Amino acid sequence: MALEARLLQKLQQKLVMTPQLRLAIKILQLQREELDTMIEEELAENPVLERAEGETPIPEEPPMVGDGDTPVAVTDAPQQEDMNWESYFDSYNEGTPSLPATGGDDDDDDRQRSLENRMVRTESLAEHLTEQLRFHDLSEDEERVASVIIGNLNSSGYCELPLEELAASAGVGIELVAYVLQLIQGCDPIGIGARDLRECLLMQLRAQALEEPRVEDPALTLATRIVHDHLDMLESHRFDRLAKELGVTMDEVSLAMKIIVALEPKPARNFVEEEVRYVIPDVHIHKLGEEYVITLNEEGLPRLRVSQSYRRMLAEGGAAKEYLNDKLRSAAWLIKSIQQRQRTLYLVAESIVKFQQDFLTYGVSRMHPLVLRDVAADVGVHESTVSRAVANKYMATPRGIFAMKKFFTTGLKGQPGEDVAAESVKDKIREMIANEDAAHPLSDEEIAQALSRGNVTIARRTVAKYRESLNILSSAKRKHALQ
């Protein structure tokens, strides 16, 4: 059978990431202060765009129910082709503490490493990682995923969020998130992006082993075994029991511990923190009678319109017609994207209040389990749209100001047919430890058993995880601190 080359025509439909859609996604993720900055930049760059000072603009879309005037609207905007903008927008989305020291003199290498660990860097962690990732020639999707992961690293430099949640936030598959996370874990400082303390320390130990791959260091091998299998024993300082468990001498344990204590359990600690910024709530919740009223923070948000004079220039034609046409379309899409942001933010906030009304009324003990999927189904948008809408946003409530993502919490099995929110369980753990006998502090196992008696099914490891997230020491350390 002969091979031949020929041209074939094929008609197919597919969604593409247009510049307009990128703008809409970007604006949805911006917090209020960032949105103000972006609007000012657009006003400076686009001559067709101007403030509608001292007049009430005519919105292209009807104002949101219960939200008063639309904060950004088009006055005398050019006629655009009708399209289901929201449908298009959503359819695209389908496609711990330091380890104990054992004494002894540090050698020169350990002392140098210790000095380096105490040096304060003059750049933020995000800047440091982003600069390194440039050498990987990332695609646009990979850059977006990297930004989401880096933005969600905790103060220690760990990536604690589930891959599924990161994938939903970036609007990509879990496989891509896992790949980009692996790239970040290969960056300096070693241990960054680890899922927990154990993985952080193991990453550093593996890096040391790679420095001399042909020479096996027994102390390094033992240190790796200790971190991998017996990390819990290090907190209790039971080194004699550890030696017996591993079948080694105390001298061998001491050499291994010398390696472990030189590791950095918090790889992000030596970077300068981002500039302190005051939180500006994007949403305000007020209680009137038995109802909660939702309002968006519109104070100072400019009302925009397309300049009449430039519209007349466009109608007259001339050499600048194409330039003005581009700027006009850009202005119209900016205004429409801001309108959509406000509408989506309002609907998401309204849904959160509906699901978490008991929390607003009675406190954290009455918080209900809530995931992105629940709000997405209620509002009628994709999960990633909800994730972007709550990213870096804050809600002012009668109980204080909270990050909107705090209202989303996983659930644990409680009474038959009823789950208990993780935040509610954390509050119970905090209360139990606050009221414990200081001379006989509750262990994680005892807390788990007490919660189980209260119809909350929880494992000891989960109790330990929640306790650490509350910055509460283990029972052994709480007792030691009392002595």
**CB atoms < 10 A from the CB of 413, how many?**
12
Domain count within the chain: 4
Q: Among 154-158, 163-167, 364-368, 376-380, whose mean pLDDT is lowest?
A: 364-368
My answer on whether 291 and 398 are in the same domain is yes
Task: Tell me the per-residue pLDDT of 1-34, one tens digit each, with 9 for 90 and over.
Answer: 567 777 877 777 765 667 778 888 889 988 888 8
| Structure-model confidence comparison of residues 125 and 471, the more confident one | 125
Residue 283 has what pLDDT? Answer: 93
Contact (Cβ atoms closer than 8 angstroms) between residue 384 and residue 171: yes
Residue 340 has what pLDDT? Answer: 92
Task: Tell me the per-residue pLDDT of 420-456, one tens digit each, with 9 for 90 and over.
Answer: 777 778 888 888 888 888 778 888 888 888 888 877 7
My answer on whether 472 and 374 are in the same domain is no
Contact (Cβ atoms closer than 8 angstroms) between residue 387 and residue 335: no
- Establish if 75 belongs to a structural domain: yes
My answer on whether 461 and 384 are in the same domain is no
Residue 212 has what pLDDT? Answer: 62
Average pLDDT over residues 243-261: 86
Cα(138)–Cα(179) distance, integer angstroms = 11
My answer on whether 249 and 282 are in the same domain is no
How would you classify the pairing of strands 283-288 and 49-51?
A: unpaired
- Establish if 10 belongs to a structural domain: no
My answer on whether 291 and 397 are in the same domain is yes
Task: Tell me the per-residue pLDDT of 197-215, one tens digit each, with 9 for 90 and over.
Answer: 889 999 999 888 877 655 5
Whether residue 372 has pLDDT greater than 70? yes
Whether residue 381 has pLDDT greater than 70? yes
Task: Tell me the per-residue pLDDT of 270-298, one tens digit each, with 9 for 90 and over.
Answer: 775 555 556 788 999 998 888 899 999 88
Q: What is the three-state SS of 258-284?
A: HHHCCCCCCCCCCCCCCCCCCCCCCEE
Domain boundary among 369, 404, 439: 404
Whether residue 476 has pLDDT greater than 80? no
Range of the domain at 169: 123-195
Residue 380 has what pLDDT? Answer: 92
Whether residue 264 has pLDDT greater than 70? yes
Residue 347 has what pLDDT? Answer: 95
My answer on whether 237 and 291 are in the same domain is no
Whether residue 115 has pLDDT greater than 70? no
- Establish if 114 belongs to a structural domain: no
Query: Residue 129 belongs to a domain with what CATH number?
Result: 1.10.10.1330
Domain boundary among 387, 404, 421: 404
My answer on whether 172 and 227 are in the same domain is no
My answer on whether 319 and 338 are in the same domain is yes
φ/ψ of residue 151, rounded to 5: -65, -20
- Establish if 4 belongs to a structural domain: no
**Residue 17 neighbours by CB under 8 Å, 6+ apart:** 92, 140
**Residue 434 neighbours by CB under 8 Å, 6+ apart:** none
| Structure-model confidence comparison of residues 224 and 236, the more confident one | 224
φ/ψ of residue 265, rounded to 5: -75, -15
| Structure-model confidence comparison of residues 372 and 112, the more confident one | 372
Query: Residue 69 gets which letter from DSSP?
Result: S
- Establish if 231 belongs to a structural domain: yes
pTM over 0.75, yes/no:
no
- Establish if 94 belongs to a structural domain: no
My answer on whether 27 and 137 are in the same domain is no
My answer on whether 297 and 241 are in the same domain is no
Element (H, E) at 40: helix 32-45
My answer on whether 292 and 394 are in the same domain is yes
Cα(279)–Cα(396) distance, integer angstroms = 10
Contact (Cβ atoms closer than 8 angstroms) between residue 215 and residue 182: no
- Establish if 8 belongs to a structural domain: no
Residue 81 has what pLDDT? Answer: 35
Q: Most confidently modeled of 123-132, 369-378, 407-416?
A: 369-378
Whether residue 56 has pLDDT greater than 50? no
The structure tokens listed for 357 are: 């009304």
Query: Residue 444 belongs to a domain with what CATH number?
Result: 1.10.10.60
The structure tokens listed for 367 are: 């918080």
Whether residue 179 has pLDDT greater than 90? yes
Which residue(s) pair with 304 in the sheet? 51
| Structure-model confidence comparison of residues 336 and 99, the more confident one | 336
Domain boundary among 180, 195, 210: 195
**Residue 248 neighbours by CB under 8 Å, 6+ apart:** 222
What is the average pLDDT value for the chain, to the nearest integer? 77
My answer on whether 345 and 384 are in the same domain is yes
- Establish if 48 belongs to a structural domain: yes
Q: Among 21-30, 98-107, 184-193, whose mean pLDDT is lowest?
A: 98-107
